[in-house]
Structure 1
Amino acid sequence: MNAELDPEDAKIITLARSARARSGAAAGAAVRDETGRTYAAVDVSLPSLSLSALQVAVAMAVSSGAESLEAAAVVSAAEPAEADLAAAREMKAARVLLAGIDGAFVKSYENSGH
């Protein structure tokens, strides 16, 4: 992991990586809300429902009463889709961090509207 990452951001990357590893999903995600609570999730793929890991993590935070997100992380071999980033931006996430499946930081998507 990148030594320059804030320890709290490194923590949500670790949570996302752990969720992905436990489930065997293609992607894992974690978000941190304005109170510091974290939510980790993986992709959901059912015949009647298909959500990305980031969408699930954002939905978990919203359903638990979060009003905004401090940060979000995605662990995946692929970059998140624009719809996934939009879900985090709607919750005013300052940034979405992308890490590879090995947990190594790749890039950050900054929310200029935060």
Structure 2
Amino acid sequence: MTEITELDPEDRKLITLARATRARNAVPEGAAVRDETGRTYVAGTVALDSLRLSALATAVAMAVASGARSLEAAAVVSEAAAVPDADRAAVRDLGGPDTPVLLAGPDGVPSAVVTAG
């Protein structure tokens, strides 16, 4: 896990989108991913009786369903201290092992960046 000192404006946008989704939908996590064309996909945690998906897994699924072929970056806004392995695996499946995954707290302050790999 790497500490974040400076953030690219496009990566900051991912955190802003994820944070807004988390707040608007009153869910534990918000996530956003950016595909190879620069399109973004945003999602919150899915918690139904018959279906449970993290926000990041949902955002990756939305990207795939919309025709994305790769990911440039991903971001999660959560109270969690780390990005779960299953979420990193979903990003890796579409973006590859070097895809950065940003983690930010509910206040939107980035705390770490890891790779999907």
Shorter-chain TM range is over 0.9
Aligned partner letter, 1:101: P
Other-structure match for 2:85: 82
SS in structure 2 of the partner of residue 40 of structure 1 = strand
Is 1:8 the counterpart of 2:4? The answer is no
Measured in 1, the distance between the counterparts of 2:31 and 2:116 equals: 17
The CA distance in 2 between the partners of 1:28 and 1:17, in whole Å, is 6
What per-residue deviation string (whole Å, max 9, x for no partner) do you get for residues 5-43 of structure 1? 000000000000000000110000000000000011000
**Separation of aligned partners in 1, 2:56 and 2:95:** 14
Summarize the alignment of residues 33-72 of structure 1 with structure 2, pairs less than 5 Å apart: 33-72=35-74
Aligned positions, number: 111
Residue of structure 1 equivalent to 2:115: 110
Query: Could you say which structure has the higher strand fraction?
Result: 1
* SS of equivalent residue, structure 1 residue 55: helix
Q: Secondary structure at the match of 1:77?
A: coil
Contact between 2:88 and 2:115, CA under 8 Å: does it hold in 1? no
Question: Could you state the TM-score of these two structures normalised by the residue count of structure 2?
Answer: 0.90
For 2:33, the equivalent position in structure 1 comes to: 31
Identity %: 60
Q: CA deviation at 1:92?
A: 1.6
| Per-residue deviation, 1:80 | 2.4
Residue 32 of structure 1 aligns with an amino acid whose one-letter code is: R
RMSD: 1.3
